Structure formats: C-alpha cells, structure tokens
C-alpha cells in the first residue's frame, strides 16, 4: 500500500537534499527539433512566450468552458465534432504551464465556478502539470492535454443522474459506468483530435491493479496518459464538493488516493503532490508564527514549503503592506494549519 507518510517522508528528504544541491540548468528543446516523443515541437508556442496575468488566464479558462459547451451540444445532436478551437486553447494552456504560470493552477481550486465543464478544464490543467513533472516534451503535453480536456465527454448522456442530490444506487452507478465507452464513441467522430484521446476516454477509469472499469485492465495495458488523467480526475473530484459530501482538503485527498492499494502508480501520486503542492495555490493557511495568509507560489521540488502572501499578523490585524514569506528560505517557519474559508 502506498502510504501518504511515506510520500511526504520522501518529499521532505528530497527537499532537504535540494537545499544543499546546486541548481541544475534544464536543457531546453529547440523549437522545430524532435522532442523525446520524436514529434517536432511547434515553434509558434515558443515565439508567443509571455506569462499571462490572472485575468488573461481566466479568459483562457472561460474560453475553454465555452468551447466545451459547444462541443457538448454537437455531441448531443450526433454532429461531427470540430476540435480545432479547443486544441488551440489547450496549446495556450500548455504554453503557460510550461512557463510555470501559477494563475492557471489557482483557477482549478474553483475560483470561477465548478461544474462538468470546469471539471474537464481542471483535469486538463492538472494532467499537463503532472506531465511536466514527468519531463514530457511539448508534443506529449499536447496529446495529454487534448485527451484530458475531453476525457469525460461520455458523461453528457448521464448528466441528470450525475447531478442528482444524494448518493447513487448501485444500479444508477452501474449505468454511469457506461460513460467511458460512450465518450470514446463520441470522440471517434471528432476532427483534428489526437487518436490517443479516444483511448484515454475509454481507459481513464481503469486502474493499475485491475480494479477499474469498463474492462478491468491492469498495468501497462492502461495507457500512460489514461493513468495520469485518471489520477487527476479523482483528485479534482475529491477536492470539490458534491451534492452528497463536502470537498476534501488537498492533503486529505492525496491521503485517500494513497490508500487505494496499487490502483494508482506511486510515482504519479508523488509527482502530483510535487506539482500542486501539499498546500495548493490560493489555500488559506496559518503559520507557526500565528500569521495568516494565502499560498502564492508552489516551490517546485518543495511541496510542503510554498511562498505565502501574509494577510494578517499574529494578533489578527490585517496588514496594510504586502509581505511575502518564502518557506523554502525560512526553515524555522512552517504551515501549522490549513484554514477553511
């Protein structure tokens, strides 16, 4: 069984080692040259190269939701799905996430809205971040992101059931379990969509130990993208409320996922924790100094030691001037508690 304490123990050990390790300069792939997957990287993304502000990121997020709504309507009418626009949107998400734009990650916590469409976009963002953590090149990230943003398309046939208050009966749940096959059938008639997206839609509920559905696949029979999307999908669903339960805090969600025996690969859980942080962007926290603030940046490789924007002092007085605490640099200071909004 993967134990959350083992994950955190390994992460904290790595944090300690990195404090003493000289920084490595990551080799950049050259636009137009073959990446690790052998597919040439589109130079247009590298040319755009500007980190967008929060509002600009929110505009991309809203655009993705709008495009997903259009795709849903076409799917319900059994029309051919035109995916060029949504893939272009994924391209911009990949570009910003490669440049470590934390604003997009903060949007996944539900600062705009949360429904079927935002779930799709959130899973896309989390999957791309995980892919970056795994060292995927641009071509692989585009395949992964394009698959992730349409991973639950089959759910459009079961929305009434999915949105019903209270827990589903066994019969209702078994009906909803048909959605991966429904989704793969829908994506079969999509244009300008990577072929792998069809397989990911079919397999994202499969698990490494064979406990998933619809076919109970095991190990390498589950495509690597489907494994990533499946983990991101589970984490995203758990960290947002449902009609029948409250949302999980990030660490509680990771803890629950780690209890699922060998359903998820240990490496993927560890990478997800590293890229989203033990305390996700925007989390309201209290430090051991009794000051309160919000997580403003995830220190890659130091998931338990993010950057905090301090909002209130130890006497609960709101600060007039912004103060930033980088926990990576201040080892005596740490997060004491995550606060509910």
Cα distances (angstroms) measured from residue 167 to each of 162, 239, 242, 287, 316: 9, 17, 10, 37, 40
The mean predicted confidence, pLDDT, of the chain is: 86
Full DSSP string of 95-148: HHHHTT-HHHHHHTTSSS--SHHHHHHHHHHHHHHHHHHTT--HHHHHHHHHHH
Residue 158 reports pLDDT greater than 70: yes
pLDDT digits (tens, 9 = 90+) for 133-143: 999 999 999 99
Fold designation for 4-15+34-276: Hypothetical protein af1432 (1.10.3210)
Output helix, strand, coil percentages for the chain, rounded to the nearest 5: 50, 10, 40
Residue 244 reports pLDDT greater than 80: no
The pLDDT of 120-127, averaged and rounded, is 97
pLDDT for res 41 = 34
**Which of 96-105, 161-170, 174-183 has the least mean pLDDT?**
161-170
pLDDT band for position 38 (cuts 50, 70, 90)? very low
Task: Return the C-alpha torsion angle 37, 46, 102, 55, nearest 10.
Answer: -130
Of the chain, the end-to-end C-alpha distance in Å amounts to 32
CA–CA separation, 304 and 306 (whole Å) = 6
pLDDT band for position 9 (cuts 50, 70, 90)? low
pLDDT for res 99 = 95
CA–CA separation, 138 and 31 (whole Å) = 10
pLDDT for res 19 = 53
CA–CA separation, 180 and 162 (whole Å) = 14
pLDDT band for position 312 (cuts 50, 70, 90)? very high
pLDDT for res 31 = 38
Q: Domain map of the chain by residue range?
A: 4-15+34-276, 284-338
Question: Token digits for 92?
Answer: 């911009």
pLDDT digits (tens, 9 = 90+) for 269-285: 999 999 888 898 889 99
Residues 6+ apart with CB under 8 A from 115: none
Percent of the chain with pLDDT over 90: 69
């Amino acid at each position: 069984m993967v134990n959350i304490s083992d994950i955190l123990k390994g992460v904290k050990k790595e944090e300690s080692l990195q404090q003493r390790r000289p920084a490595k300069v990551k080799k950049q792939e050259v636009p137009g040259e073959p990446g690790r997957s052998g597919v040439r990287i589109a130079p247009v993304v590298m040319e755009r190269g500007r980190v967008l502000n929060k509002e600009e990121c929110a505009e991309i997020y809203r655009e993705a939701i709008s495009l997903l709504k259009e795709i849903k309507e076409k799917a319900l009418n059994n029309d051919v799905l035109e995916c060029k626009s949504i893939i272009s949107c994924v391209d911009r998400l990949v570009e910003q996430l490669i440049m470590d734009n934390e604003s997009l990650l903060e949007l996944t916590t539900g600062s705009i809205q949360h429904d079927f469409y935002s779930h799709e976009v959130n899973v896309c963002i989390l999957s791309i971040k995980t892919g970056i953590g795994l060292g995927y090149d641009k071509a692989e990230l585009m395949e992964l992101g394009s698959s992730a943003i349409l991973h639950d398309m089959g759910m459009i046939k079961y929305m009434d059931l999915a949105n019903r208050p209270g827990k589903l009966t066994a019969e209702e749940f078994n009906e909803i379990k048909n959605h991966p096959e429904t989704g793969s059938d829908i994506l079969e008639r999509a244009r300008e969509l990577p072929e792998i997206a069809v397989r990911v839609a079919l397999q994202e509920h499969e698990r490494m130990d064979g406990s998933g559905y619809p076919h109970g696949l095991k190990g390498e029979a589950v495509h690597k993208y489907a494994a990533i999307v499946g983990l991101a999908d589970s984490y995203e669903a758990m960290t947002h409320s449902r009609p029948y339960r409250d949302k999980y805090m990030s660490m509680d969600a990771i803890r629950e996922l780690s209890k699922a025996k060998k359903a998820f690969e240990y490496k993927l859980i560890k990478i997800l924790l590293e890229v989203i942080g033990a305390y996700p962007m925007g989390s309201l926290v209290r430090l051991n100094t009794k000051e309160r603030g919000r997580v403003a940046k995830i220190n890659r490789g130091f998931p338990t030691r993010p950057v905090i924007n301090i909002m209130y002092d130890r006497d609960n007085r709101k600060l007039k001037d912004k103060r930033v605490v980088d926990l990576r640099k201040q080892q005596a200071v740490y997060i004491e508690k995550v606060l509910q909004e």
